[in-house]
C-alpha cells in the first residue's frame, strides 16, 4: 500500500495523523484506506486497526504484568516490580476510599483498570514519532498511529461505557422513579404542584444536558490533551529535516517537551479515573 501524500511538511503531518483504517471501499469491496479521503468515505463502520491493536496490546500487557505481580506477592516486604504494583494499587484504593462512600465490588477494580490502561496508552506518546511508523512501513503498513488516546473513537468508547454504568447504577440504586425524579425535580423546586409541573421541562432540559455532557467532556478532555501533545511532537520532528542547527534545536525541544509531557500523561490518566469514581458516586447517592 503506497502513500499518495507528497513528502512536504503538510504531507508529513497528515501522514502521521492518519489512522490505519479498514472499511468498505468505493468499489464495494472491504479493505484498507489509501488516504484520508478514502477513510472518511468509509463512514461509520470503518475501524481504526492501529487504535484497536495498540489498545488491546496495552490492555493485555496490564493484565499480564499485574497478574504476574499478584502471583509473586507474599506476606513479606515486597521488592522490585511487585512493590511498584502494590504502590499503584494502594494509590488507586486511597482515591476510591476518598471519593466513593458506598459499597461496591466494581468501582476499585474499574478505577485501577482505567488508570493503568489509560496511562499505558498515553505513555505511547513519548515514543519518538517516527520509530514505529517507519518500522511499520518496512512491513508494508503505510499508516500507524501508536497512541490510542489521540483517537476520539477510543476515548468516546471508554466514556460511553462509563456513562452506561452511571445510568445503570442510577436506576438500580434509586429506581426508575427516583432516577426520573432526579432529572425532573431539580434544580428548580416548588411546593405548589402546578408550578412543579410547569418546571418539569426546564429541569429536564438542564439535567439532561448535564448528564449527557459527562461522557462528552470526559472523552474530549483526554483526547484533546493527548492529541495536542502528539501534534507538538510531530512539529518538533519536522525540525530535524531543516539542517544541523535546527536538528540540534529539535533534539533539545523534543527532550524538554517529553519531560513536560510526562506530567500530562500522568495527570490525564488520573483525571479520567477520578471523574469516573465521582460519576459512580453520584449514581449511588440519593439527592
The span from the CA of 54 to the CA of 286, in Å, is 39
- Count Cα neighbours of 186 within 13 Å in the Cβ-side half-sphere: 11
List the Cα angle 116/254/223 in 5-degree steps: 40
**What is the Cα–Cα distance from 118 to 55, expressed in whole angstroms?**
9
pLDDT per position as a tens digit, 94-153: 999 999 999 999 999 999 999 999 999 999 999 999 999 999 999 999 999 999 999 999
- Please pick, among 97, 225, 241, 285, the residue that the annotation labels catalytic: 225
Options 99, 217, 219, 241, the catalytic residue: 217
Is residue 285 among the annotated active site residues?
A: no
Burial group, residue 139, by CB count within 10 angstroms (0-12, 13-18, 19+): exposed
Q: Which one of 3, 99, 153, 221 is the catalytic residue?
A: 221
Residue listed under C-alpha cell 473513537: 153
- The answer to whether 16 and 232 have CB atoms below 8 angstroms apart is no
Q: Answer whether residue 79 shows pLDDT above 80.
A: no
Model confidence at 197, pLDDT cuts 50, 70, 90, reads confident
CA distance to 5, 128, 149, 221, per residue, from 152 (Å): 23, 21, 7, 10
Q: What is the mean pLDDT of the chain?
A: 91
Percent of the chain with pLDDT over 90: 74
pLDDT of residue 3: 46
In which band, very low, low, confident or very high, does the pLDDT at 76 lie, cut at 50, 70 and 90?
confident
In 3D space, the residue among 158, 274, 152 whose CA is nearest the CA of residue 224 turns out to be 152
Give the least confident one: 76-85, 173-182, 214-223. Answer: 76-85
Q: What is the pLDDT of residue 29?
A: 92
d(CA 23, CA 28): 10
> Three-state DSSP class for 192?
coil
Instruction: Give the whole-angstrom CA distance, residue 11 versus residue 128.
Output: 18
Sign, CA torsion 161/277/84/233: positive
Residue 31: strand pairing partners: 23
| Helix, strand, coil tally for the chain in percent (to 5) | 75, 5, 25
10-23 mean pLDDT: 93
Other Cβ atoms less than 10 A from the Cβ of 219: the count is 23
CA distance 196 to 203: 10
Banded pLDDT at 287 (limits 50, 70, 90) = low
Q: In 26-106, which ranges are continuous DSSP H helix?
A: 36-41, 49-72, 80-99
Q: How far is the C-alpha of 84 from the C-alpha of 44, rounded, in Å?
A: 41
List the grid coordinates of 64. Answer: 499480564
Give the SS3 label for residue 220.
helix
Residue 122 falls in the annotated catalytic set: no
Q: Average of pLDDT values for 83-88?
A: 93
C-alpha cell at 2: 503506497
- Which of the residue ranges 6-10, 57-61, 160-164, 244-248 would you say has the lowest mean pLDDT? 6-10
- Known catalytic residue at 225: yes
Residue 78: the pLDDT is 74
pTM above 0.85, yes or no: yes
The residue-averaged pLDDT of 212-216 equals 94
266 CB-side CA count, 13 A: 8
Tell me how far apart the alpha carbons of residues 129 and 125 are, in angstroms, rounded to a whole number.
8
Contacts of 259 (CB under 8 A, 6+ apart): none
Amino acid at each position: 500500500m503506497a502513500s499518495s501524500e507528497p513528502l512536504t511538511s503538510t504531507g508529513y503531518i497528515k501522514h502521521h495523523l492518519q489512522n490505519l483504517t479498514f472499511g468498505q471501499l468505493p468499489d464495494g469491496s472491504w479493505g484498507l484506506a489509501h488516504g484520508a479521503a478514502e477513510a472518511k468515505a468509509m463512514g461509520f463502520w470503518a475501524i481504526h486497526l492501529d487504535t484497536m491493536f495498540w489498545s488491546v496490546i496495552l490492555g493485555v500487557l496490564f493484565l499480564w504484568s499485574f497478574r504476574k505481580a499478584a502471583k509473586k506477592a507474599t506476606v513479606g516486604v515486597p521488592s522490585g516490580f511487585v512493590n511498584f504494583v502494590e504502590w499503584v494499587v494502594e494509590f488507586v484504593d486511597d482515591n476510591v476510599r476518598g471519593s466513593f462512600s458506598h459499597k461496591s465490588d466494581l468501582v476499585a477494580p474499574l478505577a485501577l483498570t482505567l488508570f493503568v490502561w489509560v496511562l499505558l496508552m498515553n505513555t505511547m506518546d513519548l515514543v519518538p514519532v517516527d520509530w514505529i511508523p517507519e518500522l511499520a512501513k518496512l512491513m508494508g503498513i503505510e499508516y500507524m498511529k501508536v497512541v490510542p488516546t489521540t483517537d476520539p473513537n477510543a476515548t468516546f468508547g471508554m466514556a460511553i461505557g462509563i456513562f452506561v454504568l452511571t445510568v445503570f447504577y442510577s436506576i438500580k440504586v434509586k429506581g426508575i422513579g427516583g432516577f426520573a425524579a432526579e432529572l425532573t425535580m431539580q434544580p428548580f423546586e416548588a411546593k405548589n404542584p402546578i408550578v412543579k409541573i410547569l418546571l418539569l421541562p426546564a429541569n429536564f432540559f438542564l439535567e439532561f444536558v448535564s448528564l449527557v455532557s459527562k461522557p462528552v467532556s470526559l472523552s474530549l478532555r483526554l483526547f484533546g490533551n493527548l492529541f495536542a501533545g502528539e501534534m507538538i511532537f510531530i512539529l518538533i520532528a519536522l525540525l530535524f529535516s531543516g539542517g544541523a542547527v535546527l536538528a540540534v534545536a529539535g533534539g533539545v525541544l523534543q527532550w524538554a517537551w517529553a519531560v513536560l509531557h510526562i506530567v500530562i500523561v500522568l495527570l490525564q490518566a488520573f483525571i479520567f479515573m477520578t471523574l469516573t469514581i465521582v460519576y459512580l458516586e453520584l449514581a449511588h447517592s440519593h439527592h
